[in-house]
């Protein structure tokens, strides 16, 4: 049982499968895509023991020669050193231009393994098998890949679309609570930026969602993928529309950087960033106060943070300035006009930036 | 005075300018392309002292904020460490997504700086200013960028098209003889694979070419760029036709690897590889013996090597097997049927491979 969402990108179009029992179908799906026989599964020390053998066996049964490379779990692995170890393994396993990489794990693995695939031999194909909610609804869709540098996140990377995405909802059952909840902030984001009805659905089904009810989850994940696929299909390389996906992310990136990678999960930082953007939106984009309240309330209902303590404003402000999405110096925000509709590129006055920071950081 | 060749790649189309006095026009050309104000010129310790200030001044006069980053001359700089130093410099200079990189130098600089541009912030624009014959006629055209790993050349990289190529023929006057002659092997290659008339022109004008006569050179460089642009326009990502550009390169890559990077210049290895491919072609692709002789004679006329000493056949054979352009194990060659026409993907019998090796390595 699964839903299939098509990402329309001309010659680079691909399917996202969202459902259960998809890990075991990996080999069959790859065979249909006529991928070369050698492949490297890249996974991490949390996910590989749980699901590595299922994917490997499925690939082997379908006639592939799968090897598996396991990196330490955590954001620290999304670095140049780990990337070079993947290259070494790919060379040792004699991967060629027809070979492919399978990214089995959360967002870190998808970004890292995806970038390895984008750059190895100037680009080989890869398959996304996201095992976290965050990866399913966000990072595995759209072809963004990359690694971090000491100076900041995702400073090096490529747009490289996967050949297929297999989002097996059964893997969410083993996800730690904090990770799962973190993913809900990106889920909510789609409601805020594109779909008021979906936002209302999330409010109504918050209990079932927190209980990880498979039926509800399939609907949630599929809808998020549809919404993201629609944006990505219109703006693959983030030259325009795709910017709306950064709702809440300008502050989130700054918080993550100033607090140090790993203090906050990405989704937690995004939750705080969305609370911040919601309040900014009331003053700077005409968002009704009640709508901002609904956003902040739903964040709270999901157990996501809506404020942050102990961070220095000047440091945060400077980090927002340096965010790579800024062009030519000015900090611009994606702000909401109403639930379901946002506008990118809004400049916000300095006073207001700090004033709202004081609200969410007391 | 310059010729303009258009590389047709849809949204990624760009112009190649071949002529004199182009370095000083760099700023104006970049302004027309509406590139962002910050830019990083990447050059090497040979080229920067000669031409760095001309390009920098031209960019500054046109209103850009150019910084210059100089790497040690030589293939050794095409490595992950130097790449990371370019990222550091780009970050220190606060390059953003609108910024661009100028690759001022030979093939090493073009590949390295081009790959930095391809991967920094998931891709920023770049301008190729090739200063070697090899870079003008080959590496600066077509968007191949990349770095070497200890295991082999160009194992990591991206297809990333420049925004414009400025081939200033005046820079060839300062090129050391050995470098200049090395570039002539790629020039010859275009004649062999695509254009019998151009090959005859090279035979006739060999003297003027060796004397670096500007008028002859403009014609030579422009024709090579046209021929390569035509191939690249039909097959940007080397999935088919582009393979013909590898005439002579299967053995060349193996020779470079076995001898150790830097022993041979790339063009020298290609010259030996073309001699090898020409002789193979007589037995395996129906090339008339006189045509093979013409190829070998012209290599000799240009002062290029047609044989190699002191390399172990087993090591060379193994390196050809590992060449990244091979798919699924078999070694395939681009071979000539006549001067001006080649066929890719020809499998050659083991006996013949070794027999012809013995001819060119006695």
- Mean pLDDT in residue range A282-297: 97
Give the pLDDT of residue B326. 53
Give the pLDDT of residue B249. 94
Catalytic residues of A: 122, 144, 186, 228, 238, 242, 246, 249, 253, 266
What string of DSSP letters covers B224-292?
A: HHHHHHHHHHH-TTSSSGGGGGGTTHHHHHHHHHHH-TTSS-HHHHHHHHHHHHHHHHHHHS---HHHH
For B331, residues 6+ apart whose C-beta sits below 8 A from its C-beta are B250, B320, B321, B323, B347, B348, B353
Confidence of residue A22 (pLDDT cuts 50, 70, 90): very high
Confidence of residue A237 (pLDDT cuts 50, 70, 90): confident
Contact B317, B353 (CB under 8 A): yes
CA A190 to chain CA mean position, Å: 12
> Minimal Cα–Cα distance from A269 to chain B, Å?
21
Residue B142 CB neighbours (<10 A): 24
- Written as six digits, the tokens of A319 are 């980090």
Q: Is the pLDDT of residue B327 over 60?
A: no
- Mean pLDDT in residue range B297-324: 91
Confidence of residue B324 (pLDDT cuts 50, 70, 90): low
Q: Of A101-105, A149-153, A357-361, which gets the smallest average pLDDT? A: A149-153
Give the pLDDT of residue B329. 55
Nearest CA in chain B to A327: B96
Give the pLDDT of residue A307. 96
Confidence of residue B325 (pLDDT cuts 50, 70, 90): low
Contact A209, A224 (CB under 8 A): no
Residue A187 CB neighbours (<10 A): 24
- Mean pLDDT in residue range A304-310: 95
Q: Residues of chain B with pLDDT > 70: what percent?
A: 97
- Mean pLDDT in residue range B157-178: 96
Give the pLDDT of residue A262. 73
Q: Is the pLDDT of residue B171 over 90?
A: yes
3-class DSSP string for chain A: CEEEEEECCHHHCEEEEEECCCHHHHHHHHHHCCCCCEEEEEEECCHHHHHHHHHHHHHHHCCCEEEEEEECCCHHHCCHHHHHHHHHHHHHCCCCCCCEEEEEECHHHHHHHHHHHHHECCCCEEEEEECCHHHHHHHCCCCEEEEEECCEEEEEEEECCCCEEEEEHHHHHHCCHHHHHHHHHHHHHHHHHHCHHHHHHHHHCHHHHHCCCHHHHHHHHHHHHHHHHHHHHHCCCCCCHHHHHHCCHHHHHHHHHHHCCCCCCHHHHHHHHHHHHHHHHHHHCCCCHHHHHHHHHHHHHCCCCCCCCCCCHHHHHHHHHHCCCCECCECEEEEEEECCEEEEEEECCHHHHHHHHHHHCC
> Minimal Cα–Cα distance from B153 to chain A, Å?
10
Mean pLDDT, chain A, whole residue set: 94
Q: What's the CA gap between B275 and B138, in Å, rounded? A: 19
A with B: how many residue pairs have Cβ under 8 Å apart? 95
The more confident residue out of A146 and A74 is A146
Give the pLDDT of residue B257. 87
Mean pLDDT, chain B, whole residue set: 94
The more confident residue out of B324 and B102 is B102
Give the pLDDT of residue B153. 85
Structure ipTM over 0.85, yes or no: yes
Mutation site, B122, B242, B246, B319, interface A, largest A CB count within 10 A: B122
Q: What's the CA gap between A37 and A45, in Å, rounded? A: 25
Q: What's the CA gap between B76 and B70, in Å, rounded? A: 14
- Mean pLDDT in residue range A91-103: 96
Contact A89, A69 (CB under 8 A): yes
Q: Which of B17, B78, B125, B144 is catalytic?
A: B144
Establish how many alpha carbons lie within 13 A of residue A95's alpha carbon, considering only the half-sphere containing its beta carbon.
29
- Mean pLDDT in residue range A81-98: 97
Cβ contacts (< 8 Å) between B157 and chain A: which residues?
A: 119, 121-122
Cβ contacts (< 8 Å) between A327 and chain B: which residues?
A: 36, 96-98
What string of DSSP letters covers B287-352?
A: --HHHHHHHHHHHHHTT------S--HHHHHHHHHH-TT--TT--EEEEEEETTEEEEEEE--HHH
Mutation site, A92, A93, A121, A122, interface B, largest B CB count within 10 A: A122
Nearest CA in chain A to B36: A328
Q: Which of B123, B151, B237 sits opposite A91 (nearest CB)?
A: B151
Q: Could you say which DSSP state residue B132 is in?
A: S
- Mean pLDDT in residue range B297-316: 96
Give the pLDDT of residue A52. 98
Cα distances (angstroms) measured from residue A153 to each of A16, A253, B38: 26, 8, 21
- Mean pLDDT in residue range B40-50: 98
Q: Would you report the helix, strand and coil content of chain B in percent, each value rounded to 5?
A: 55, 20, 25
Contact A80, B84 (CB under 8 A): yes
Cα distances (angstroms) measured from residue A186 to each of A87, A177, A217: 31, 15, 14
B188-232 pLDDT, tens digit each? 999 999 999 999 999 999 999 999 998 899 999 999 999 999 998
Q: Could you say which DSSP state residue B92 is in?
A: H
- Written as six digits, the tokens of B129 are 């200013």
Beta-sheet pairing, A14-19 with A164-168: parallel
Q: Which of B96, B151, B152 sits opposite A326 (nearest CB)?
A: B96
Q: Which of B145, B155, B237 sits opposite A91 (nearest CB)?
A: B155
Contacts 24+ apart (CB under 8 A), B283-288: B283/B352, B283/B356, B284/B333, B284/B335, B284/B346, B284/B348, B284/B349, B284/B352, B285/B335, B285/B336, B285/B337, B285/B342, B285/B343, B285/B346, B286/B337, B287/B335, B287/B336, B287/B337, B287/B338, B288/B338
A97, B159: Cβ pair inside 8 Å? no
How much is the CA Rg of chain A, to the nearest whole Å? 20
Confidence of residue A236 (pLDDT cuts 50, 70, 90): confident
- Mean pLDDT in residue range B135-147: 94
- Written as six digits, the tokens of B226 are 């046209």
A112-144 pLDDT, tens digit each? 999 999 999 999 999 999 999 999 999 898 899
Confidence of residue A238 (pLDDT cuts 50, 70, 90): confident
Contact A83, A112 (CB under 8 A): yes
- Mean pLDDT in residue range B324-348: 83
Q: Is the pLDDT of residue A324 over 60?
A: no
- Mean pLDDT in residue range A223-237: 90
Edge-to-edge strands, sheet with B14-19: B2-7, B14-19, B164-168, B125-130, B100-105, B38-44, B65-71
Give the pLDDT of residue A239. 78
B208 is catalytic: no
Establish how many alpha carbons lie within 13 A of residue A22's alpha carbon, considering only the half-sphere containing its beta carbon.
28
A149-161 pLDDT, tens digit each? 999 889 999 999 9
Q: Is the pLDDT of residue A327 over 60?
A: no
Q: What's the CA gap between A334 and A245, in Å, rounded? A: 8
Q: Which of B84, B158, B327 sits opposite A119 (nearest CB)?
A: B158
Closest CA to B134 of B163, B105, B97: B105
pTM of the model: 0.91
Beta bridge partners of B14: B7
Give the pLDDT of residue A260. 84
SS3 for B87?
helix
């Amino acid at each position: 049982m699964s839903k299939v969402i098509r990402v329309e990108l001309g010659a680079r179009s691909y399917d996202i499968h969202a459902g259960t029992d998809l890990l075991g179908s990996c080999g069959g799906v790859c065979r249909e895509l006529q991928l070369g026989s050698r492949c490297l599964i890249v996974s991490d020390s949390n996910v590989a023991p749980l699901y590595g053998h299922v994917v490997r066996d499925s690939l082997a049964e379908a006639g592939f020669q799968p090897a598996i490379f396991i990196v330490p779990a955590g954001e620290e692995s999304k670095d140049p050193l780990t990337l070079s170890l993947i290259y070494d393994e790919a060379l040792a396993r004699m991967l060629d231009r027809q070979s492919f990489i399978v990214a089995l794990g959360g967002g870190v693995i998808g970004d890292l393994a995806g970038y390895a695939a984008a750059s190895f031999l100037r680009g080989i194909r890869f398959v996304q098998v996201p095992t976290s909610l965050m990866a399913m609804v966000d990072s595995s869709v759209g072809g963004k890949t990359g690694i971090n540098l000491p100076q900041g996140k995702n400073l090096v990377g490529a747009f490289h679309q996967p050949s297929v995405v297999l989002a097996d909802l059964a893997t969410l059952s083993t996800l730690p609570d904090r990770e799962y909840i973190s993913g809900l902030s990106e889920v909510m984001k789609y409601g805020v930026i594109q779909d008021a009805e979906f936002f209302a659905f999330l409010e109504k089904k918050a209990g079932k969602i927190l209980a990880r009810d498979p039926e509800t989850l399939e609907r949630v994940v599929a809808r998020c993928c549809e919404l993201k696929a629609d944006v990505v299909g219109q703006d693959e390389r983030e030259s325009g529309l795709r910017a709306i996906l950064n709702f809440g992310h300008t502050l989130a990136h700054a918080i993550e950087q100033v607090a140090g990678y790993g203090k906050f999960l990405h989704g937690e930082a995004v939750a705080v960033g969305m609370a911040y953007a919601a309040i900014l939106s009331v003053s700077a984009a005409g968002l009704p106060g009640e709508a901002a309240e609904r956003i902040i309330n739903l964040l709270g209902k999901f157990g996501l943070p809506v404020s942050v303590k102990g961070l220095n404003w000047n440091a945060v402000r400077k980090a927002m300035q340096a965010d790579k999405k800024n062009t030519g110096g000015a900090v611009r925000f994606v702000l909401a006009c109403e639930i379901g509709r946002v506008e990118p590129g809004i400049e916000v006055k300095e006073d207001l930036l700090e004033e709202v920071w004081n609200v969410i950081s007391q």
